[in-house]
Amino acid sequence: MIFRLAALLLASSTMIGSAAAGTVCTIVADARTGKTLLEEGRCDQRITSASTFKIAISLMGYDAGILKDAHHPALPFKKGYADWLPIWRQTTDPSSWMKNSVVWYSQQVTQALGEARFRDYVRAFDYGNQDVSGDPGKNDGLTRSWLSSSLKISPVEQVAFLRKVVNRELPVSAYAIEMTAQLTALDVAGGWDIHGKTGAGRATKADGTPGNAQGWFVGWATKGDRTLVFARQVEDEKTEAVSPGIRTRDAMLKELPAMLDKLQAAD
């Protein structure tokens, strides 16, 4: 059962248009069948993948042997790396990379892959618009394409990608999937084993100037033999102290177990 009418009514009150923040889309699907169980709002519009792309980078890194386990390689912070969060200015390993969403560590992995392998993985994953060209004229796709740049993905596509992850349908090793699941493990609540990743970026207006802040929380949850995949995207009209991705994750984690139980019972 897809709650489309109720979703549209709810979306009209929560989508962007308020002075603060709005949920643009919430979508939940059954990982095995692909059946959409909940779809609220505008879920087919592509935006920057932002740090949700770390799930894909993790799969690439472990499959290619660049990432070894949860704590290797541990890479030292160097001057010139992205450092706008103090917690990034320290030695980082795969676990702390995912937990703290460290941009420069992602960039070390993608640079180790090289342009050809990086591009090939994105295409093999059928990830969003698959555009890893980066900013126009800057030749920075290998380090910037997913950061409010060329690589974009919709909530519907996020869910499709995550289904392939949990169903082990991507052309990567079993170890890559197992380690990525380990790094993204967040909580066990209401019997649901929850995995997920936040993301935050900024839209670009038609005139090229920065637009609203955008946030993601995407992932999957397993209870017994049932796995549901989900994505929520939000948009902020003003800047908050806490990123929209973190706020989206924290809000959704509170409601997720009850939401999933309700959806499962109704299906």
Strand, coil or helix: what is 55?
Answer: helix
Alpha-carbon span 226 to 107, nearest angstrom: 34
Nearest-5° angle of CA 171, CA 175, CA 180? 85
Residues annotated as part of the active site: 51
Question: Is residue 77 within 8 Å of 102, Cβ to Cβ?
Answer: no
Q: Which of 14, 32, 28, 10 is nearest to 196 (CA)?
A: 28
Distances 8 to 40, 90, 152, 160, 225 between C-alpha atoms, Å: 6, 45, 24, 21, 30
Sheet holding 36-41, edge to edge: 36-41, 21-30, 226-236, 210-223, 192-204, 185-189
Q: Which of 120, 160, 173, 135 is nearest to 35 (CA)?
A: 160
